[in-house]
Amino acid sequence: MDKDDQICARSITNVLIWFPFVNEFVSRCEEGEMAMRKATVLLLAILVTISCKRQNADVSRPTAGQSTTSQPARRFTEDELKAFSSLEPVDTHTHVFRDDPSFQALLSRLHLHIVDILLVNDHDDYLKDLHPALDEVLTIVRANEGRVLLCTSFSPYKFNQPHFAEDAIRQLNENFQQGAIAVKIWKTLGMEVKNSKGQYVLPDDPALEPIYRDIADHNKTLIAHLAEPDSCWQPPNPADVDYSYYQEHPEWYMYRHPGVPSKKQILEARDHLLQMNPKLRVVGAHLGSMEDSLDDIAERFDRYPNFAVDTAARVPHLMIQPSEKVRAFVLRYQDRILYATDLEFLPKANPKEVEAEWEDQYALDWRYFATSDTFDYEGHRVQGLDLPQPVLRKLYHDNAVRWIPGVLSK
């Protein structure tokens, strides 16, 4: 089934959900009113057709983790590609679980280095455990001659098992010996995993402290995706950048999950983690989940010298904010922001489509950060930041080297 068929199938499903209510209403009418019944059938058919057409038109709407322009994709110009690749750019947040000659060629052509991040996600059959994803990523790392680096993780779902911390440390240390340069913790902490008392496990839980100390002792970096955009706790708003993501992933839409900790609680626990572990480098994924408040990020930067953020899947949030404010923020904190995308190469993906998607994303982000172009994005007029060359080098290269030691093989 192709994408259009899937969309129309979902549309038909949505209409069928409403059919019993419509049918109940019609059945209350007099038996002789067959014309009304026929009209109802015709109405449902029209709704299916309209819904398919509307959703086909909305296929390109970005989700959390995707960025697209509202106009045809614009590839790198020859000069832009030369400028981009000359930085030896590092994408510090990707998820690659398949290798392919065309993908290797893309990395080589763009002079691109990537951090390949593992996570454990009980909602995804492939990621329910570190294996087989870890085995695949290690194969990819070995095949790409220093252009792909491993960020490992551990399972928070084992939190209530005896010797949880000891087992996690043992596994992480084994991964460090295999070449892992960082460790990922995910939004399951604060949003899903509960302790034996039925309480949500927050990222500053004392049981996690030995793990954080071990990461710091090995001079590794913690990449922390904690909490989500504000809209995750707010009523549905079709105009929001992340609306479609939560429609497709209701398990992460906290507005529908009463009793879950607030975003404020989760970020306060993250801040406590930073305070308790001053020797631990922490990169807050997705602008530290403070993507709509540069002032909040600045406050954390000023308070915690061991904290940086990456831009993964959150450049759209920057694009719709005043360009003057964003530019001033990036210039002021130019040593604390790491370039990242959250791009994926999943096991069943089409390599050619992945190659095109990746290059389109890099070209779009470069246009925003490096040029003074004005362009349309999802109904917004976006002004490129035109960052100075030294700042671009920090964003795309130097900050990754500083905050994630080992990201460039010696």
Q: To 5 degrees, how large is the angle CA 156–CA 211–CA 293?
A: 70
Question: Which residues are 152's β-sheet partners?
Answer: 183
- CA gap 195, 153 in Å, rounded: 19
Q: CA 278 to CA 201: how far, in whole Å?
A: 21
pTM comes to 0.83
pLDDT of residue 52: 40
Residues 6+ apart with CB under 8 A from 239: none
Count of positions (residues) in the chain: 410
Q: Which residue has the higher pLDDT, 197 or 378?
A: 197
pLDDT at 304: 98
| 175 burial type by CB count under 10 A (0-12 exposed, 13-18 middle, 19+ buried) | buried
How many CA atoms within 13 Å lie on the side-chain side of 76?
20
For residue 3, what pLDDT is reported?
39
CA 399 to each of CA 157, 185, 277, 311: distance values in angstroms, whole numbers, following the listed order: 32, 20, 20, 12
- Lowest mean pLDDT, pick from 64-73, 318-327, 351-360: 64-73
Rama region for 342: left / alpha / beta (φ>0; ψ in -120 to 50; rest) = left
pLDDT, mean of residues 286-312? 98
Determine the pLDDT at residue 410.
Answer: 54
Q: Tell me what pLDDT residue 72 has.
A: 52
The answer to whether the CB of 252 falls within 8 A of the CB of 228 is: yes
DSSP-derived secondary structure letter, 125: G
- Mean pLDDT is lowest, of 51-55, 207-211, 314-318, for 51-55
Name the fold adopted by 78-403. TIM Barrel (3.20.20)
Both structure tokens of 62: 């970005």
Check if the beta carbon of residue 221 is closer than 8 Å to that of residue 150: no
Cα–Cα distance measured from residue 104 to residue 115, given in angstroms and rounded to the nearest whole number: 14
pLDDT given for residue 91 in this prediction = 98
Strand positions, DSSP E, 51-135: 90-96, 113-117
Of residues 71 and 154, more confidently modeled: 154
How many whole angstroms separate alpha carbon 403 and alpha carbon 338? 8
* pLDDT tens track for 195-209: 999 999 999 999 999
Distance between CA 285 and CA 281 in Å, rounded? 13
The pLDDT value given to residue 74: 80
The model's pLDDT over 6-46, given as tens digits with 9 standing for 90+, comes to: 444 444 444 343 344 334 433 444 444 444 444 444 444 44
Q: Read off the tokens for 6.
A: 């899937």
pLDDT, residue 35, reads 44
Q: How confident is the model at residue 409 (pLDDT cuts 50, 70, 90)?
A: low
For the chain, domain boundaries: 3-57, 78-403
**3-class SS of residue 43:** helix
The percent of residues above 70 in pLDDT, for the chain, comes to: 82
pLDDT for the residue 393: 98
What average pLDDT does this structure show over 323-329?
98
Residue among 223, 253, 222, 224 at smallest CA distance from 236: 253
Q: What is the percentage of the chain residues whose pLDDT exceeds 90?
A: 79
Question: Tokens 């709407």 identify what position?
Answer: 61
Q: What is the mean pLDDT of residues 160-165?
A: 97
Asked whether the beta carbons of 203 and 226 are under 8 A apart, the reply is yes
Task: Name the pLDDT band for 120 (thresholds 50, 70, 90).
Answer: very high
Task: Determine the angle formed by the axes of helices 78-86 and 101-110, rounding to 10 degrees.
Answer: 90
DSSP string, 250-319: GGG-GGGSTTPPPHHHHHHHHHHHHHH-TTSEEEEHHHHT-TT-HHHHHHHHHH-TTEEEE-TTTHHHHH
Q: Over the chain, what is the mean pLDDT?
A: 87
Looking at residue 379, what is its pLDDT? 85
